[in-house]
Amino acid sequence: MSNVIDVSIVMPCLNEAVSLEHCITRARTALDLIRERYGLSGEVVIADNGSTDGSQALACKLGARVVPVSRRGYGAALMAGFEAAHGRFLVMGDADGSYDFVESAPMIGELLGGADLCMGSRFKGGIKPGAMPWKNRYIGNPALTGLLNILFGSRIDDAHCGLRALTRDCFNRLRLQGPGMEFASEMVVKAALLRQTIAEVPATLSPDLRDRAPHLRPWRDGWRHLRFLMMLSPAWLYFLPGICGAAIGVAILGAESAWQVWGRGPFFLGDYWAILAGSMLSTSHLALLLGAAAQLYGIARGYRLPSARFRRHQSKLSVEWMLIGGLVLVGLGLAVLTTVAIYWSSIQFQKISTVLPAVVGTTLTALGVQNALGGFLLALIGEDVPDDGALA
């Protein structure tokens, strides 16, 4: 009989002695079912995060393999457990009795059928009375799942179900890092960004068996999830606001210029709006530079695939092109400011009727400096990004 392990069921554990026996027993039942259905062998791995209630000894007594994890956190425990697991298929689930590991058997079937990641859906499988606070069930989870689907196109029903399965190859490709509860979102987001095949099966959520309060803190962990979603979405965090802000700024400056030159235009707003428009242009340009940096960082770190558009414009992000663009903008800005200075001296340094030329000159100069300095930042971040030839 082969000693090769095919499936590893990994549970993060921190003082779960009350519920651990139940969970390991159900995991063993799941492995028996997986062996019967698919002919795969398995193991139970307990990623212990420093329990002081005897959870480690209990797990060993029940035949599970204990992996000590010194770094605290839900994600840290699971990552260490996955690294130490022997299986080519990895199942994760909480050690508090809230999930039935027998429901992971269909997940292995999905992985065998070609999926890279299989999510459990509590909204398809059922949520038992008392298993989830109303604010999580009707506000938090739907809102965060909906936002994740909008930002990353993942198309799943329940982004935060704790019962999941993924292939070893998928785990290696995702390069997960989040040590806390944001690990759950990170897994889905990076799988979507890398265009991994994501399946979903029903999962039942039951009241946990703990005799203490759960480690989850809804508001803190909800914010960490939201923060992580925005960090990995430069299109929504940087590019969209940057493009909209730049368009509004250009429209205002264009309208003001029309009034100053021809005495007419689509609308007249005055000097204060011109100053606001210059500020919007500068801020929007900075946002676009930060978005490009975030995009390059994701590609360089391997959790984001370069798009066809990126490949077409990659050469324009080089230091040389960014410097040329920056110098052109600075030159234009200084030319405008020089013209303003000459005119001001010609009227004996009296008050000028409009600040528009000065706003345009200073804005162009600021954009040029940002562009030049941003070019070096993009080059530094994107130094590990393959060039067009390597991507072809």
What pLDDT, on the 0 to 100 scale, is given for residue 1? 36
Tell me which of 172, 201, 231 is where a domain ends: 231
Instruction: State whether 196 and 168 are in the same domain.
Output: yes
Instruction: State whether 103 and 242 are in the same domain.
Output: no
Residue 163 near residue 99 (C-beta atoms within 8 A) = yes
Instruction: State whether 248 and 225 are in the same domain.
Output: no
With respect to residue 331, please indicate whether it lies within any of the assigned structural domains.
yes
Q: Is the dihedral of CA 125, 130, 135, 140 positive or negative?
A: negative
With respect to residue 159, please indicate whether it lies within any of the assigned structural domains.
yes
Instruction: State whether 289 and 190 are in the same domain.
Output: no
What pLDDT, on the 0 to 100 scale, is given for residue 192? 92
What pLDDT, on the 0 to 100 scale, is given for residue 145? 87
What pLDDT, on the 0 to 100 scale, is given for residue 180? 85
Instruction: State whether 227 and 239 are in the same domain.
Output: no
Which residues share a beta bridge with 99?
205
Tell me which of 231, 264, 286 is where a domain ends: 231
Instruction: State whether 28 and 141 are in the same domain.
Output: yes
Instruction: State whether 99 and 176 are in the same domain.
Output: yes
The residue segments making up the domain with residue 80 are 7-231
pLDDT digit string, tens, across residues 27-77: 999 999 999 999 999 999 999 999 999 999 999 999 999 999 999 999 999
d(CA 230, CA 236): 8
Instruction: State whether 158 and 171 are in the same domain.
Output: yes
Which residues share a beta bridge with 43?
8
Report how many domains make up the chain.
2
With respect to residue 2, please indicate whether it lies within any of the assigned structural domains.
no
What pLDDT, on the 0 to 100 scale, is given for residue 388? 47
What pLDDT, on the 0 to 100 scale, is given for residue 32? 97
What pLDDT, on the 0 to 100 scale, is given for residue 390? 38
With respect to residue 37, please indicate whether it lies within any of the assigned structural domains.
yes
* Helix axes 183-193 and 218-231, enclosed angle (nearest 10): 20
pLDDT digit string, tens, across residues 133-159: 887 788 878 888 888 888 888 889 998
Tell me which of 203, 231, 259 is where a domain ends: 231
Instruction: State whether 44 and 125 are in the same domain.
Output: yes
Q: Which residues of the chain have pLDDT under 70?
A: 1-3, 211-219, 221-222, 262-268, 384-392
Average pLDDT, the chain: 88
Instruction: State whether 308 and 296 are in the same domain.
Output: yes
Instruction: State whether 201 and 308 are in the same domain.
Output: no
**Residue 139: both structure tokens together:** 């506000």
Task: Note the pTM of the prediction, 2 decimals.
Answer: 0.77
With respect to residue 1, please indicate whether it lies within any of the assigned structural domains.
no
Instruction: State whether 120 and 200 are in the same domain.
Output: yes
With respect to residue 12, please indicate whether it lies within any of the assigned structural domains.
yes
Residue 126 near residue 202 (C-beta atoms within 8 A) = yes
What pLDDT, on the 0 to 100 scale, is given for residue 229? 82
With respect to residue 41, please indicate whether it lies within any of the assigned structural domains.
yes
CATH code, domain carrying 100:
3.90.550.10
What pLDDT, on the 0 to 100 scale, is given for residue 202? 96
